[in-house]
Structures are given as structure tokens and as C-alpha cells.
Amino acid sequence: MSTTICQVMGFIVSSLGVAGCMVATAMDMWSTQDLYDNPVTAVFQYQGLWRSCVRQSSGFTECRPYFTILGLPAMFQAVRALMIVGIVLGILGLLVCIFALKCVRIGSMEDSAKANMTLTSGIMFIIAGLCAITGVSVFANMLVTNFWMSTANMYQGMQNVQNRYTFGSALFVGWVAGGLALVGGILMCLACKGLIPEESRYKAVSYNASGRNISYRTGPYKVGSGYEPEMKTRRGAGYEEAARSDDGRRSYPSKYDYV
């Protein structure tokens, strides 16, 4: 019963994590304009992985997608790739996990096969969660670096107006979603141990001694290995082993047998 509960909980938590990764990837507020020095502004800017948006004080919002791929920074494209890989692995893990649930019976599938499928889905969820957490962390590191560089330029008087960007809500959604997918994968791996049949955990192995008729004796006795060559005696053409006749008397070769 505990194995089923652990498996179902892992499936539910992983599903929430994968759904959160999809939502975070589609959100536009990965980075938002910092309003610390200018709290009252007529234009508010925020950016996502796929487009940048501008919201005016009148409530009108205009979004513009990125029309280039090669013009974007390499780290920005790496974040995109990590999030997409995490989503794909999460969806595949969900499909495998559905068929691996112990409460779902498909034909004559054995528990050992379900255990392998459960372990596979758990590994997929763990990798998906790590991809999401890594992608969000890389983007956050980019924001921190650009923020302090913009701040240093503003205090040095290099530029009069400098827009600084801080963490958006999509980053926190991505961190939570990656953590949920990671925890769900760990639960699935723990449930795999309970699905393995008891008789397949410890398999008895019988070891047979090589050779035949090996006898072990203690003391001064001679050890026989059973491989001694048989003594063969030479016999001539006329000297054959005497055979008993029907009346019980032995028959010996006559003199004509030597010719």
C-alpha cells in the first residue's frame, strides 16, 4: 500500500512540476524593469524568453517577439534549450509513468516491468527538474551581472538614463516547478524498490565443482581425480579374451588360430 501511495504522490508532484515548467517557459515576465529609483513612470518594460513587452500607464500593453536567433546572446539561447529539454523529458516521463502505475493494469504486465518503467520515469523527472533549475539559475545570474554593471555605469555618469532589470515572477515559478519535478522523480525512484518482487531480489546460485567423480580424503590417503588413464594391455590377433561357453567351461584358442 505504501508503494502505491509513494508512486501516486510522485506522479502528482511530477505532473505539477512539469506543468509549472511549461507555464514558466511561456511567461513574459522573466525580467522586469527595476523601479527603485523611478517608482512613477509612464512606461513599464518586461521581457521573457520569446518576446519583450511594454506596458503604458493607460493600460495598453504592446509585445514584440524576438525576430532573430543568432542576434541573441548565447546564454539566452542556452536557457531556452534547457527549458525545452526539461519540458520534453517531463512529458515523456509522464507518459511512461501512467503505464507504470501499480493501480493501472495493462494486459499481463509483470511487476518487474512496472518497476523498470517507474525507475525510468523517475530518472526523466529528475533530469527535467535539474534542467529547469539550471536554466532559471543561469538567467538569474545574467540579470544580476547586468544589474550591477548598469548600476556602476549610472554612478560613474557614463549614461544619464539606464534601464535596470530585476527578477520577474517567471523565475520563481521555474524554481518551484523544477524543485517539484525533482522531488517527484525521487519519489518514483523510491517506489521502484517496492515494486520489485521478493523472489527476484535474492537469487540463489548453485556452484557445481568442475570435473567428475572428485573425491576429497584426509590423511595419508591418495586423492583420486577420476582422470587416470585406463591401463591397456596388448593382445595379439589370436589371443582374445576367453569366453565362457553355455555349459560353463572355458574355451581356449586352438593351434589353428595362430596361423
What is the pLDDT at residue 240?
46
Which residues have C-beta within 8 Å of that of residue 174, sequence separation ≥ 6? Answer: 20, 21, 24, 25, 83, 132, 133, 135, 136
Reduce the secondary structure of 198-218 to three states and give it as a string: HHHCCCCCCCCCCCCCCCCCC
Instruction: Please compute, for residue 10, the number of CA atoms within 13 A of its CA located in the half-sphere on the CB side.
Output: 34
Task: From first to last of the 259 residues of the chain, give the pLDDT tens digit.
Answer: 577 888 889 999 999 999 999 999 999 889 988 877 665 667 788 888 999 888 887 778 888 888 888 888 889 999 999 999 999 999 999 999 888 887 777 767 777 888 888 899 999 999 999 999 999 999 999 988 887 776 666 556 555 556 778 898 999 999 999 999 999 999 998 888 777 765 544 444 444 545 454 444 444 545 454 444 444 444 444 444 444 444 445 555 555 554 4
Q: Which residue has the cell 524498490?
A: 193
pTM: 0.69
What is the pLDDT at residue 39?
59
- Report the alpha-carbon distance of residue 43 to residue 57 in Å, rounded: 6
CA 213 to chain centroid, in Å, comes to: 50
- Report the alpha-carbon distance of residue 100 to residue 185 in Å, rounded: 13
Which residues have C-beta within 8 Å of that of residue 172, sequence separation ≥ 6? Answer: none
CATH architecture of 1-36+73-197: Up-down Bundle (1.20)
Question: Which grid cell is 52?
Answer: 519583450
The structural domains of the chain, with segments of one domain joined by +, span: 1-36+73-197
